[in-house]
Amino acid sequence: MIPSSTLQHCVLAYSGPRGFTDAAVEAVSDALSAGAAAVVFADADQIARVRAALGRDAGQVVTIDRSIAGRNPASVLPTLQSLVDANREDGVRCIGEPVRADDCAAVRSEVALHELILQLPAFRAWNCQLTCAYDESLDPALVADINATHDTRSDPSDAVDRALAESLPIRPLDSEELGVDRTTLSALRGFIEGRAATAGLDDERVDDLVYAVNEVVTNSICHGEGRARVSVWVEPGAVACEVRDRGWIRDPLAGRVAPHPDRVSGRGLWLVNQLCDLVQLRSSPAGTTLRMHIDV
């Protein structure tokens, strides 16, 4: 059994095509022997290989398809939280591959922030062992970044605050922009709808993006200075929409943990993370930028 009230968060390098499969099978076997819940977090192809190698034990493993749930790390955190809550006594052992060679820079950036956030005091009581596996053939700079996010020697709160205060990459020059306040909020839907549909999103995903942007902008108007700037553009494989205002979101877990059922407020960012394929939030005393991506 994993020692209670302690989160163990470590990295593991693997090598070769079967490297992750072998590491995952060993981790699952150890978890099952200890009576803990065994979790594998990886892309579908990796999960299929692990299940095949486990044989009869495959039915005892919880799998999280990274290609569906993991592109937006902020949506993975509540899944882990629910597993930890359901296995408080026996604990959880999860091996995952949060970063792969074909990930874009935006995904890598959000995974790094996610890994830093997991070091915050809010998660120290998790009865959980998280092993982040990575291919040792990855770019050395990326490997260094992975190891840095698991360095527990520095104050995690300061590291998270610094990461959240960093600027996102500059918007493309051809992005279109709209200023929104209470008097022009009604124009927002048409602004997003037209550009998202032209980019190739189907009706359901257009509605998801419109709803997400409306939640963010409404929050800006109600809790900020009463106005926001909205930009939209098309990037390879996705539509991106960004909302900027002068507010400051101080809670690094905002939108990353499920709101209490009794709370009416605090659901906007949570819903945004459930609707979008990737969400990037940066906030400091200078203002807040929230960038939403929906895959085409």
**Domain coordinates in residue numbering, the chain:** 7-165, 176-295
Nearest of 56, 23, 15, 57 to residue 42 by alpha carbon: 23
Indicate the CATH number for domain 176-295: 3.30.565.10
pLDDT of residue 185: 86
Nearest of 171, 174, 208, 183 to residue 193 by alpha carbon: 208
CB neighbour list of residue 235: distance below 8 Å, 6 or more residues apart: 172, 293
pLDDT of residue 153: 66
pLDDT of residue 155: 77
pLDDT of residue 66: 85
CATH architecture of 7-165: 3-Layer(aba) Sandwich (3.40)
pLDDT in tens, 88-109: 999 999 999 988 888 889 999 9
pTM above 0.75, yes or no: yes
Q: How far is 64 from 46, CA to CA, in rounded Å?
A: 11
Q: How many C-beta atoms surround the C-beta of residue 80 within 10 A?
A: 20
> Per-residue pLDDT for 170 more than 60?
yes
pLDDT averaged over the chain? 90
